[in-house]
Amino acid sequence: MFAEPSDREALRFGENSLTYAELHRAAGTLAERLRGHTRVAVWATSTLETCVAVVAGLLAGVAIVPLNPKIGERELEHILGDSKPDLILRDEPVRLGTPGAFEEPGPETPALVIYTSGTTGPPKGVVLPRRALTSNIDALAKAWQWTGDDVLVHGLPLFHVHGLGIGILGALRLGGSVRHVKFSPEAIGQELATGATMMFGVPTMYHRIAEAVEQNRELADQFRNARLLVSGSAALPASDHERIARATGQGIVERYGMSETLMNVSMRFDGDRRPGAVGLPVDGVDVQVVDELGNDVGVGTIGEIEVRGPNLFLEYLNRPDATEKAFREGWFKTGDMAVRDPDGYIRIVGRRATDLIKSGGYKIGAGEIENALLEHPAVAEVAVTGEPDHDLGERIVAWVVPSGEAPEPDELSDHVARLLSPHKRPRVVRYLDSLPRNEMGKVLKRELSQEDCHRDGRWARPAIPVTSVDQPAELPLQAT
């Protein structure tokens, strides 16, 4: 699954690095300890130690459960209780021993269990087999002309498929190098000026890059050196495409994927890098755009994306009901709505469900934030939505009916960050006298998108910001 031992640099985190020979020795040494286990959780800090632990698990045929190092107590309790790992590794020291040989596990052997937010309830564990990773990395290598000569730089976290499954494991399979940095346009630019050839990022990162390269000619020239800039996890605004192209001459390559499928669709290295589109299906992946009955909607009509191929996950861990519901006659129902152009290019236009928020590259379920807020004694009712944000893509907004005196917004934001994760905290809190509901009592969230909401003849209280949306969001950012 990985390139052979050599003196080529495999991984670099700041001043720390490992060659392929050192990585094989370190991962093999740890893999000896992991033999015979079923699942091992790894505290996925952005370090060499995390990468060694993941590679060790794959060598030993053990499924790795990456844990967000900033995870909240409630979410951590759920993930550990659901996955029941045999061990939890946290910054395990790197030891260069002399390991024995390991047999290559079968293609259906679980490799990663990635916890992903749905529209309601706690996160589900997506079980990804080895064949999903290997087939998808190989398909992306062909689409992007990605080889062992490339040096990838990114500042993505290592607890999800973008930064870990494709970024780290992709480069290690192809024999290239990875330089992981704490994200800033300047940090990325410095690596591109000193040998890095590719960057992976999310739209929030590229928005900040667009602003920076317009103001700094030297930085723009550094980005001009890149062979390939890839964006994913949410749609990249056409304006940022155009700003970066004007300043650097670079056309951003967009791709579309999910935790359950890895990457389904991408622009090609030598193809049309069309703003607003995510490209064509990658090799081996079948994609259709269908109506509610599963019929192809044809060119130019909105439908739901369904996917099949070797890139698909095995199951939602311990959730056979959710697994069965996610498929239609072998096709995985993504819940994403799209339009197909006449030449086959796909454009994502939104979600079938209104309760999935994509903020700063993270996919966030409104339901889990609502459940957390309802545990606060000052909250009687709540609805959570996403609103457009120039930096984050979408910002999280909590619409709260207080049980008495309204608490300070920061109190509710901190409450969510403690129970879940900092990136799931509301950026804006708006207090209402009541929530709009239909005759069945269901909250009408679409009405909450209005700037001023009228309730039963009464105007809602004014919006109260939790944090300024002009402040930088916490980075690095996730991706699916």
Structure tokens at 473: 């969001």
- Judged against a pLDDT cut of 90, whether residue 11 lies above it is answered with yes
Residue position matching structure tokens 């800090």:
45
Break the chain into its structural domains and give their ranges. Answer: 9-347, 356-465
Over residues 470-477, the mean pLDDT reads 42
Reported as a pLDDT band with limits 50, 70 and 90, residue 231 is very high
Class of residue 91 by CB neighbours under 10 A (exposed 0-12, middle 13-18, buried 19+): middle
Say if residues 402 and 409 touch (Cβ distance below 8 Å): no
What is the percentage of the chain residues whose pLDDT exceeds 70?
91
- Give the three-class secondary structure for 32: helix
Class of residue 219 by CB neighbours under 10 A (exposed 0-12, middle 13-18, buried 19+): buried
Give CA–CA dist 309/288, Å, rounded: 12
Poorest-confidence range of 126-130, 139-143, 246-250, 438-442?
438-442
pLDDT in tens, 55-93: 999 999 999 999 999 999 999 999 999 999 999 999 889
Poorest-confidence range of 38-47, 99-108, 245-254, 444-453?
444-453
Structure tokens at 74: 């409630």
- Give the three-class secondary structure for 446: helix
Class of residue 73 by CB neighbours under 10 A (exposed 0-12, middle 13-18, buried 19+): exposed
What is residue 100's predicted lDDT score, i.e. its pLDDT? Answer: 84
Over residues 223-227, the mean pLDDT reads 97
What is residue 237's predicted lDDT score, i.e. its pLDDT? Answer: 82
What is residue 73's predicted lDDT score, i.e. its pLDDT? Answer: 93
- Give the three-class secondary structure for 480: coil
What is residue 458's predicted lDDT score, i.e. its pLDDT? Answer: 35
What are the residues facing 346 on neighbouring strands? 279, 340
Class of residue 166 by CB neighbours under 10 A (exposed 0-12, middle 13-18, buried 19+): buried
What is residue 448's predicted lDDT score, i.e. its pLDDT? Answer: 85
Give CA–CA dist 300/284, Å, rounded: 24
Give CA–CA dist 190/237, Å, rounded: 25
Inter-helix orientation angle 238-248/217-224, to 10°: 90
What is residue 442's predicted lDDT score, i.e. its pLDDT? Answer: 72
Over residues 329-348, the mean pLDDT reads 93
Residue-wise DSSP of 401-419: EESSSPPPHHHHHHHHHHH
CA angle 69, 90, 129 (to 5 degrees): 80
What is residue 454's predicted lDDT score, i.e. its pLDDT? Answer: 43
157: nearest Cα among 74, 66, 248, 222 = 66
What's the topology of domain 356-465? GMP Synthetase; Chain A, domain 3 (3.30.300)
Residue position matching structure tokens 């969510």:
416
What is residue 441's predicted lDDT score, i.e. its pLDDT? Answer: 62
How far are the Cα atoms of 26, 295, 386 from residue 112, in angstroms, in the given order?
A: 20, 33, 29
Poorest-confidence range of 23-32, 329-338, 466-475?
466-475
Give CA–CA dist 35/33, Å, rounded: 6
Give CA–CA dist 405/389, Å, rounded: 29
What is residue 449's predicted lDDT score, i.e. its pLDDT? Answer: 67
Inter-helix orientation angle 185-192/203-215, to 10°: 80
CA angle 67, 70, 75 (to 5 degrees): 65
Over residues 265-286, the mean pLDDT reads 95
What is residue 467's predicted lDDT score, i.e. its pLDDT? Answer: 37
Helix (H) or strand (E) holding 323: helix 320-325
What is residue 439's predicted lDDT score, i.e. its pLDDT? Answer: 55
- Enter the DSSP assignment of 103: P
Number of Cβ atoms within 10 Å of the Cβ of 405:
6
What is residue 301's predicted lDDT score, i.e. its pLDDT? Answer: 87
What is the percentage of the chain residues whose pLDDT exceeds 90?
72
- Judged against a pLDDT cut of 50, whether residue 378 lies above it is answered with yes
**Higher model confidence: residue 181 or residue 480?**
181
pTM: 0.83
CA dihedral 189, 258, 61, 53 (to 10 degrees): 30
- Enter the DSSP assignment of 28: H
- Judged against a pLDDT cut of 80, whether residue 13 lies above it is answered with yes
Average pLDDT in the chain? 90
Superfamily of domain 9-347: ANL, N-terminal domain (3.40.50.12780)
What are the residues facing 396 on neighbouring strands? 386
CA 285, 289, 295, 300 torsion: positive or negative? negative
pLDDT in tens, 183-208: 999 999 999 999 999 999 998 899 89
Q: Which residues lie closer than 8 Å to 59 by C-beta, 6 or more apart?
A: 27, 28, 31, 102
CA angle 442, 445, 449 (to 5 degrees): 160
**Higher model confidence: residue 133 or residue 204?**
133
Reported as a pLDDT band with limits 50, 70 and 90, residue 119 is low
Reported as a pLDDT band with limits 50, 70 and 90, residue 213 is very high
- Judged against a pLDDT cut of 90, whether residue 430 lies above it is answered with yes
Kind of pairing, strands 253-258 and 228-231?
parallel
pLDDT in tens, 381-419: 899 999 988 889 899 999 999 999 999 999 999 999 999
